[in-house]
Amino acid sequence: MAKIVYTADEVARHDNINDLWVVMNRKVYDLTRFVKEHPGGEEVLLEVAGSDGTKCFDSIGHSEEAKLRRKIYMIGELAEGETASKKVNQLEKKAEKKEPTIDNDDWQYEEVKEKKSYYLPLFIGIAVVVYAIIIKYLW
């Protein structure tokens, strides 16, 4: 059987939950049927849909079973000279921008405003009245 070769543009068109392709180690996988079963959730696969998910897959530390299971969904290979990492690079840049820093001193200090609660004095007042009624009728 001849191997099927896909371009990065062809893979990029399959980037949604109903038609989800991912490239891993230059192999193209159709994960449309698997997306709902993915133990890490749909979001993980949707982030790399239509692009190269090699870094994501390798960084998680998948089991040998997961690595072997990929073969079921393999539909071809990425064309020589093509890179399908455009979307992943955009996601990495987005993550770099959103990364919070603890050492950021550019925030405005606001004193905590204490809210006054009227429940405690009310409760004490009611308790005193109940106590007075009990004392009056029992003595």
pLDDT of amino acid 59: 87
pLDDT tens digits, residue range 113-137? Answer: 777 788 888 999 999 999 999 998 8
pLDDT of amino acid 70: 87
**Any idea which of 69-73, 75-79, 91-95, 128-132 has the lowest mean pLDDT?**
91-95
Interatomic CA distance for residues 109 and 43, integer angstroms: 36
What domains can be seen in the chain, in order of their start residue? 5-78 (3.10.120.10)
Q: What is the mean pLDDT of residues 30-50?
A: 89
For residue 50 the two structure tokens come to 């239509």
Evaluate if residue 75 carries a pLDDT over 80: yes
Interatomic CA distance for residues 135 and 126, integer angstroms: 14
Q: What is the mean pLDDT of residues 59-74?
A: 87
